[in-house]
Amino acid sequence: MSIWKRISEALSALTGGEPLSEIFERLRTPPERSVAFTIAVIALSAKMAKADGLVTRDEVTAMREVFQIAQEDEAGAARVFNLARRDVAGFEDYALRIRRMFSGADACLCDLMEGLFHIAMADGTYHPAEDDFLHQVADIFGIPEHEFRALRARFVPDAAPDPFSVLGVAPDTPYAEIRKVWKRLVRDTHPDAMMARGVPEEMVQMAEKRMIDLNRAWEEITQTKGPEAA
């Protein structure tokens, strides 16, 4: 059964007056967590669209890219998006419920933030309201400031990404420690590892971009610091 059929089944369990945010309380264990993960990204994207005041065609296209949404599944994705936009609950409530659901799975919350950054940058503009929104979501998720900056450095092209920011390390970190961080991030980016922590298969392609960014940053650091600095 495709994830979109599973999402439709999950939505059908909601009563007419029940908010979409209630769904996260029911989808805590695999394989339901991948359903919850997908709903979380779409729902927070809808809240982010309200933050900057508009929904562009580029953002809709980006959502299709993140989840590989087939034409026959677009109605299901649109339903989640529209339910979240109409829900009177604020994005803070969504983010808190999502954090509780993925408690102890910090890497999964970073995966979710990546999807939001990808959608935020779909129109080529990083709106200040989007930055404020994503910063607040990251705070609720418990994502440290240096990790948030690392994510932003990879997605927001206001300047060439600083390789140390991409890996989330300080420039004066010993070379050997940076290598450990890089290897851990690469290991966490493997598709099997992502799917094991609840990221839906439809979104795993995002890992390809992350892997390219991580390896490019590591190559730049190696050229500047070099193994001899270990």
What is the C-alpha separation between 183 and 178, in angstroms, rounded? 9
At residue 138, the pLDDT reads 95
Q: For residue 101, what are the contacts with CB-CB under 8 A and spacing of at least 6?
A: 24, 25, 27, 28, 33, 36, 40
Per-residue CA distances from 221 to 145, 147, 174, 178, 186 (Å)? 21, 18, 11, 9, 15
At residue 141, the pLDDT reads 93
Other beta carbons within 10 angstroms of residue 23's beta carbon come to: 24
Is 31 or 228 the better-scoring residue by pLDDT? 31
The residue ranges of every structural domain in the chain are: 3-229
Residue 230: band (very low, low, confident or very high) from pLDDT cuts 50, 70, 90:
very low
Mean pLDDT of the chain: 79
Tokens read off for 83 = 């339910």
pLDDT of 209 over the 60 cut: yes
Mean pLDDT across 193-217 = 81
At residue 80, the pLDDT reads 78
Per-residue pLDDT reduced to its tens digit, 95-126: 888 888 887 778 888 888 988 898 888 777 88
Is 60 or 118 the better-scoring residue by pLDDT? 118
What percentage of the chain carries pLDDT values higher than 90? 13
pLDDT of 229 over the 60 cut: no
Per-residue CA distances from 205 to 66, 115, 195, 199, 228 (Å)? 8, 11, 11, 11, 35
| Predicted TM-score of the model (pTM) | 0.66
Lowest mean pLDDT among 83-87, 125-129, 211-215: 83-87
